[in-house]
Structure formats: structure tokens, C-alpha cells
Amino acid sequence: MSIRRSLHTSTVVLQLASFLAVPQSLAQTEKSNELLTSNTSNIDSTYLVDELDRLQNRVKRNSMPITLNEAIVIGITNNPELLQTFGAIQQYEWSLIAAQRRWYPQLQLSNGSPFIGYSWGTYINNQYGMRGNRASSTTLSSNSLYSVNKSQSFLLQPGAIVSWNFIDPTRQPDINAASESLKQQKLLFNVSTRNLILNLQQSYYGIQSSQQLINSFKQIYAINKQQLKMLEAQKNIGMATVLDVEQTKSQLFTQLSQLVSYTQEYIKQTALLAEYLALPPGKLAIPSDPAARAGSWSETLQETLKNALKQREEILASLAAAESAQWRGIASIRSYLPVFQLMGTGSLNSSNGYSSVPVDDDPGSAYHWTRTWTATVGIGFSWSLFDGGINAANAESFYAQSRQQKAQAAQTELTVVRQVRSSFAEMQTSRVAIASAQRAYESAKLAQEVARVRWAAGVGDITSVVQTIQQLSIAAQQSSQAILSYNNAVAEIYRYSATWPGSTEKDVQMRLRMMRNPSSNPKNSSLIP
């Protein structure tokens, strides 16, 4: 069983090394492969631990230690997700401006056909019915019954129309709908920012927890390694059995497997933190402080619930979306009302040429020009009396959407209450768990020391040593998990109650100014550690 465990552990370590290896480490990888293909029972656990150390050190060489506050500032300043959400805000800002500009009068230039150019015409008149008219007192020649005239003119026909809808029943509802949609997008921007801050905090705490576990299990590994050496020495002189040695070795490689998983989690969390910080490729960040209780929450549960229900942007965004849909439904219904407008028109018709000149004649004195100015002003209206019920159906669709958003807001309120209660309870229980786990760790550490001393003195057995070391590893896990749970719970309470931690609100406002006026920012405005 111990051979299989050692093979599995070494395989995981070498696979992990292959993902993070650089060209300079190819020789080490080849050496690892040679060791793997050799007798796995001869693989020294020290080499595996050294391999894990190299992986972690490689991460640290490419990383810059930062505090949690620095990480939040860098994330808010650099993360492109906020820029993406801000683009939606600008989109709806311009939609609101477009709706408000419906109050402005409209000027439209028009023209005849063509606006400027030439016109030619030929007029043929054939009075063929007069040829058989015997009642005619005169004899008509064929030339008088058939005539062809021509015309030519240079035309200039500009025009203009000015109109102002001073009574438009759909205008103000459309403005109100656009305003509520903009309000919704601003609230959703805060949601994205709060989610980013929470993700940064949880990733930061996750790295701290993984580092704490790595340090604890390295110490436990050193204890096991020392114990194994003593057992192997005693086995050589017949004072220890194969069972004693293999039992300790099994525990050694089991805890080494746990150390591998903690190293994997450490590397994953550093990569995740780099993503949230929007760091360039090859650049990482790690916490500058060890794992410890971070932050606190002073409000009671009822105060927290009250503030959360009043401030959570998800609830307010759903209500804003409901109002927007309601106003759009009103606009659709009001489209059946008449629109009154003040309008004026003006036009010029200028013609220069001749008309009604026989085709074979020279126009000569027939050339002339004319100009006609026309202008009108008054009140008009347009009224869509019936469209088959299309706008009425659209209105009902918007009203249904409004009801759906209100129901979504009610559902979100229930979710908010659950989130706050769960995080608040986790914070309180984790506070107790930290004290309990710390005492358990101290007791387990002392117990394994006493068990090893008793075994060395010949009054104890190896099983007690193995059990106390196992208890020490469990206590280390519980202590790390308690601190991580407490820190995450406090961060979640800030998030779920829509409360900005520390001075992050100022950092968010600064990022908004940077995105709104990118040309006024220095080229190195982004924070890259």
C-alpha cells in the first residue's frame, strides 16, 4: 500500500511540475522521469518535497507581495470587467439623451425633383378628329391639326420644413423609461464592483490559507521524517518491526499527498488572483501577510438585514427595470393619442428657359425666367386611430415584463435575507471555531511530542505516535479552515449588505472618473505591481 501511495504522490508532483516548468528546468524534468521509471519503492520523499518547494518558489519569484488593500485598489483600477459594465452605462446615457432630445424642434430640408438641374419636354398635339368634321366653317390644314412644341428649363427648387411636436403623449414616458434603464445599469455596475471585491478577498484569503497549510504540513512532514529515520535505524538492530516502519511511512506519504493538494491549490489561487488584478502574463501577486483574522462586523443581525434590504443593488435594479417596462407600456398605449405640432414650410421654385416653342423654330425671344416663393405656418396633428391592436399588445407585453421584474425583486429579497443570515452565522461560529481549533492544535502538538518521548523511552508504542501526529494534522487543517471561514464570512457580509469595505468607495469613484475621461488620464494610470 505504501508503494502505491508513493507512486501516486510522485506522479502528481511530476505532473504539476510539467505545467509550471520553464525551458531551464527540462533537465530536472528528465531526471524526474528517470526516477519515476525506476523502482518506485526507492523514491525518497525528500526529493518529492523539494520538488514541491521548487514549484512554490517558482511562483514566488514571479510574484510581488501585496496587502489586501493594495490588491483591492489594483483590481478596481485594472480589471476590464468594470470597463465592460461602464460601457453599458454610457450606452443607456446616450439612450436617455436621445429620448430627451425629442423635445427639440426638427428641421428638414426638402426639394423638388430635381433640386437643381435641367428639364426638357416635348408636347405633341394631333387633332385627328377634326378632319372629318363637315360642320366646320373653315377648311383645316393638316399643319393646324398636328403640332409639336418643345420646352427647356433650368430649375432650382429648394425647400425647408420646421416642425415641433408640442404635444406628444409618448415622449415623457419614453424619457422616464430611459431614465430608469440608466438607473438600472448604474446599479448593476455597483454589483459588478462588489462581486470583484469579494472575489479578490476570497482569492487573497485562499492563498493565505494554502500557505498556512503548506507550512504546517511541512513541519508535520519533518516530524514524520525524523520518526521514520529512527524507526528504520531500530529496525536494522531488531528493535522495530516492519509494521512499525510501514505504518509511519504510510502516514508520511499520505500527508505528502495532502501537501501536494495544498500546493496545487496555492498555485491555482495565485493564478486566479492575477486574473482579478488583471496582471500582465508572467506576473503574479501573493499576500504579504500570513493568515490571520481580518476585519470585523459591528452591526447586529437585524441592523444588517435592514440595511441589506434597503441597499442591495440587485433589488433596486429589478425595481428600476420594472419601472422602465411600466413606462414603456404607457408609451405604447399613448401612441393611440394624437400628436399636435407647430409646423412651417418654405420653398422656392425658380425656372429659366422657354416653353411651347415649335420644334423647328428657334426659341429666340421665348426665353424667360420665373421665381415662386411659398411659405406656410400653422398647427397640424397626426393621429393613429387603429393599427390592428399592435401597440396595445406591446403595452401588455411591457406590463407583464414589469410584473416579472417586481417578482424578481421579491425573490431577490428572500435571497438577500438567506445570504446575510448564513454569512452572519458563519462569522459567529467561525469566531468560536478559531479559538477551539487553536486550542486543539496546541494540545495535539503537545500530545505528539509526549507520545514520541514516551516511545523513545520504551514506555509507549508507535501506534500512539501515529495517532497523535494524525490528530496534529487534523488540528492544523481545522485551524486554517476556521480562519478562512471567518475571513470569507466577514467579506461576504460586506458584500451581501451592500457596504463598501474601508475606502473602496473612493477607489470606485476614481475608476469611474478615469473611464469617463480616458484622455485626461496619464498613460500609466493603471496600477501594475
155 and 186 both lie in a single domain: no
Mean pLDDT of 98-122: 90
The answer on pLDDT for 23 being more than 70 is no
Mean pLDDT of 375-395: 94
The answer on pLDDT for 2 being more than 50 is no
CA–CA distance from 105 to each of 65, 109, 167, 343 (Å)?
60, 13, 12, 9
pLDDT digits over 445-483, tens only? 999 999 989 988 888 888 898 899 999 999 999 999 999
Specify the CATH number for the domain of residue 187. 1.20.1600.10
Binning pLDDT at 50, 70 and 90, where does residue 113 land? confident
225 and 372 both lie in a single domain: no
441 and 502 both lie in a single domain: yes
In a domain, 91, yes or no: no
Q: What is the pTM of this model?
A: 0.83
Which of 381, 396, 411 lies at the terminal end of a domain, its last residue? 396
Rounded to the nearest 5°, which phi and psi values hold at 260? Answer: -60, -45
> Facing residues of 347 across strands?
159, 374
8 and 36 both lie in a single domain: yes
In a domain, 348, yes or no: yes
270 and 159 both lie in a single domain: no
Helix pair angle (171-236, 68-78), 10° resolution: 140
In a domain, 390, yes or no: yes
**Side chain identity at 325, as an amino acid letter?**
A
In a domain, 95, yes or no: no
Average pLDDT over the chain reads 87
CB atoms within 10 A of CB 292: 11
> Facing residues of 380 across strands?
341
CA–CA distance from 304 to each of 198, 376, 408, 507 (Å)?
17, 66, 21, 24
Helix pair angle (390-457, 301-311), 10° resolution: 140
Greatest Cα pair distance, the chain, in angstroms, is: 159
In a domain, 480, yes or no: yes
Please list the helix, strand and coil fractions of the chain in percent, rounded to the nearest 5, in that order. 65, 15, 15
From 142-151, 172-181, 459-468, the region with the lowest mean pLDDT: 142-151
Q: What is the pLDDT of residue 49?
A: 87
**Cα–Cα distance measured from residue 115 to residue 344, given in angstroms and rounded to the nearest whole number:** 20
225 and 306 both lie in a single domain: yes
Place of cell 470569507: 488
CB atoms within 10 A of CB 236: 9
In a domain, 137, yes or no: no
Q: Which helix (H) or strand (E) holds 122?
A: strand 106-126
The answer on pLDDT for 42 being more than 80 is no
372 and 223 both lie in a single domain: no
Task: Give 159-189 as a 3 state SS string.
Answer: EEEEEEEEECCCHHHHHHHHHHHHHHHHHHH
Q: What is the pLDDT of residue 261?
A: 95
220 and 293 both lie in a single domain: yes
348 and 295 both lie in a single domain: no
In a domain, 235, yes or no: yes
The larger pLDDT score, comparing residue 201 to residue 457, is at: 201
Domain that holds residue 475: 2-78+176-321+399-520
473 and 428 both lie in a single domain: yes
Q: Which of 11-15, 192-196, 217-221 has the highest average model confidence (pLDDT)?
A: 192-196
In a domain, 482, yes or no: yes
Of all residues in the chain, the percent with pLDDT exceeding 90 is 64
295 and 205 both lie in a single domain: yes
* R_g over Cα of the chain: 43
Provide the domain count of the chain. Answer: 2
Mean pLDDT of 236-259: 88
Which of 379, 396, 413 lies at the terminal end of a domain, its last residue? 396
Q: Are strands 106-126 and 284-287 parallel, antiparallel or unpaired?
A: unpaired
Binning pLDDT at 50, 70 and 90, where does residue 140 land? low
Which of 362, 396, 430 lies at the terminal end of a domain, its last residue? 396
410 and 379 both lie in a single domain: no
